[in-house]
Chain A
């Protein structure tokens, strides 16, 4: 049953082929069996999950049901849930109890989903590998010696291990797309402001995005339908109408123009990853898409502005704790926030003021001749935990830096991007690509990826655990 996709599970419940209690029990059993091995749950809530499932099963025939009615899910441990601890992967927040639900949590509940608990994550969402000194590393289900990617590490591990059907994560520098790429999943970072951030732990308020991780584009479309849209509790959330994402999935990419950038994004790609990326382009070409090469603007400059926004805003959130409780942070995490204490306010304002110009420049250069941009998920094979924590510090820093090489610029630009599995490396770890698009082009990205997934089966492969 846990091999079903999210949409298939929802459909099976709707047709009463299976009950929510049956699915939830199966998910809980698997969570209890594999959760400790993968270190993917921050907290499991079996009794409450079963109570939600029973309630879902009591719904009368013909009664209006939500899009996720009875489907067991779990989310990154940074979404407020009333009366629950929201640990944010941090020692500092280990006793923080939320007073109300995050808007996305309210929407998931209204859609009828069952919540199994809270998923493990990198401390304060500050690691592309999923590193967590306080509560241990989450493990990659494809090989336990390897990182699952972060910061939504528990989401990546639990989904790939077929414990849950879908998960919400957050993405400030790649935190949805990196675990998706590294665990063989599909994960969408929406356009900045497409999804409300009310009640979500802030890392960097002008960059943070909330979005889905799932096993397919179709599942992501279902989750986006539930969470996207305006929110009075988050004035920054866009009031643009929300498209019908699933209705856009028609299996067609004929005529789609795909840009492959020369230079920055592909420069550090290792041969075995490059081969998988080229294979994915061949598939799309055979389906009728047109692939063109484009030049990209100065991406290191964009990354620099992204670093300034992220660290200054994070330092604003953490300054008092850094002063009073520095020892309660992992040094690797505090050291990533602290540069934000030093940038002059003028640099920060410049980083904000240049955003429109740099985004326009980027779109004009890459997305005029094309509809979407094809990028690597990560340019290297999925590293081991040791490669990202031990040995020569400069080697470790290089590996960690490469992980976010292809994701972080899109956060500064606010553009949507989806990570998609496209094969495996020689050690059997997943390889993925990204498709990025113009602002609010999520429906187009989901449509292209769904079409790709109709003729490939990488997204259906499951690790043996």
Chain B
């Protein structure tokens, strides 16, 4: 999968560097996905965010 991502980005990377990236991205991805599974609803639109800030949260 990581090699596919590199191919999609048109990049190359050594195996060692790829393993480093995997060590950073996989745990973060898993954490973010589990929080999103728990909290995200279909109508949570990113476009609302600055309006929400402007309204003083």
Q: Are the C-beta atoms of A304 and B28 separated by less than 8 Å? A: yes
Interchain CA distance A305-B36 in the complex, whole Å: 10
Given contacts A238-B54, A343-B28, 5 further A-B contacts (CB under 8 A): A192-B50, A339-B21, A339-B24, A359-B53, A439-B56
Interface-side segment among A59-67, A346-354, A427-435 = A346-354
Are the CB atoms of A357 and B20 closer together than 8 Å?
Answer: no
Interface set of B (CB-CB < 8 Å, partner A): 2, 5-6, 9-11, 13, 17, 20-22, 24-25, 28-29, 31-33, 35-36, 39-40, 44-46, 48-50, 52-54, 56-57
Q: Quick one: given A300-B31, A438-B56, are A356 and B49 in contact (CB under 8 Å)?
A: yes
A319 in the interface (beta carbon within 8 A): yes
The reply to whether B21 and A322 contact each other, CB–CB distance below 8 Å, is: no
Q: Which of A307, A349, A363 contacts B57 (CB 8 A)?
A: A363
- Tell whether, in the assembled complex, residue B56 and residue A344 are in contact, meaning their CB atoms are under 8 Å apart: no
Q: Is A398 an interface residue (CB 8 A)?
A: no
Task: Among A300, A343, A349, point to the contact of B25 (Cβ < 8 A).
Answer: A343
Q: Report the bound CA distance from A191 to B55 in whole Å.
A: 12
Partner of A439, one of B10, B11, B25, B53: B53
Q: Are B24 and A354 in touch, CB under 8 angstroms?
A: no
For B21, list chain A residues within 8 Å (CB). 338-339, 341-342
**Complex alpha-carbon distance, A401 and B44, angstroms:** 30
Residue of B nearest to A331 (CB): B17
**Cβ 8 A contact of B28, one of A298, A308, A359:** A308
Interface members, chain A 302-338 (any B CB < 8 Å): 304-305, 307-308, 319, 322-323, 335, 338
- The verdict on A355 contacting B46 (CB below 8 Å), with A298-B35, A347-B29, A360-B57 known, is yes
Take A192-B53, A240-B54, A322-B11 as given contacts and tell me if A357 and B39 are in contact as well, using a CB distance cutoff of 8 Å.
Answer: yes
Given contacts A307-B28, A339-B24, A342-B5, whether A354 and B35 have CB atoms under 8 Å apart is yes
Are B50 and A350 interface neighbours, CB within 8 A? no
A240 to B5, CA, bound (A): 41
Q: How far is the CA of A356 from the CA of B2 in the complex (A)?
A: 31
A341, B32: Cβ atoms closer than 8 Å: no
**Chain A CB within 10 Å, residue with most, of B35, B52, B57:** B57
Tell me, in angstroms, the Cα distance from A118 to B24 when the chains sit together.
Answer: 34
Across the interface, which residues of B come within 8 angstroms of A342, CB to CB?
2, 5, 21-22, 25
Cβ 8 A contact of A319, one of B9, B29, B45, B48: B9
B54 lies within 8 A of A354 (CB): no
Contacts of B29 in A (CB 8 A): 343-344, 347
- Nearest chain A CB to B12 CB, angstrom units: 8
Residue of A nearest to B5 (CB): A342
Instruction: Tell me, yes or no, whether A109 is within 8 Å of chain B by CB.
Output: no
Is B40 a contact of A304 with CB atoms below 8 Å? no
Asked if A350 and B32 sit within 8 Å, CB to CB, the answer is: yes
A308 to chain B: which residues have CB within 8 Å?
Answer: 28, 32
A323 touches B46 (CB 8 A): no
Chain A residue total in the interface (Cβ 8 A): 41
How far, in angstroms, from A308 to B35 measured CA to CA in the complex?
A: 13
What is the count of residue pairs linking A and B with beta-carbon distances less than 8 angstroms? 103
Q: Are B11 and A323 in contact (CB under 8 A)?
A: yes
Contacts of B13 in A (CB 8 A): 338
In the complex where A347-B32, A347-B33, A360-B52 touch, is A353 in contact with B46 (Cβ < 8 A)? yes
Asked if A350 and B40 sit within 8 Å, CB to CB, the answer is yes
Closest CB pairs A-B (n = 4): A352-B46, A350-B36, A353-B44, A439-B53
Provide the residues of chain A in CB contact with B32, threshold 8 Å.
301, 304-305, 308, 347, 350-351
Q: In the bound complex, do residue B45 and residue A353 qualify as a contact, i.e. CB atoms below 8 Å apart?
A: yes
Beyond A350-B32, A351-B32, A354-B44, whether A341 also contacts B11 by CB under 8 A is: yes
Shortest CB-to-CB span from A229 to chain B, Å, is: 13
- Judge whether A126 is part of the interface by a CB distance below 8 angstroms: no
**Cα separation A191 to B44 with both chains bound (whole Å):** 21
Most buried by A among B2, B6, B52: B52
Taking a contact as CB atoms under 8 Å apart, the answer to whether A357 and B53 are in contact is: no
A349 near B46 with CB under 8 A, answer yes
- Cross-chain pairs A/B with CB under 8 angstroms, 18 sampled: A192-B50, A192-B53, A193-B53, A304-B32, A307-B28, A338-B13, A339-B21, A343-B29, A347-B29, A347-B32, A347-B36, A354-B36, A354-B44, A355-B49, A356-B52, A359-B52, A414-B53, A438-B57
Q: Which residues of B contact A236 (CB under 8 A)?
A: 50
Chain B residues, Cβ within 8 Å of A353: 40, 44-46
CB neighbours of A245 from chain B (8 A): none
Q: Is A440 among interface residues, defined by CB-CB distance under 8 A?
A: yes
Residues of A within 8 A of B25 (CB): 339, 342-343
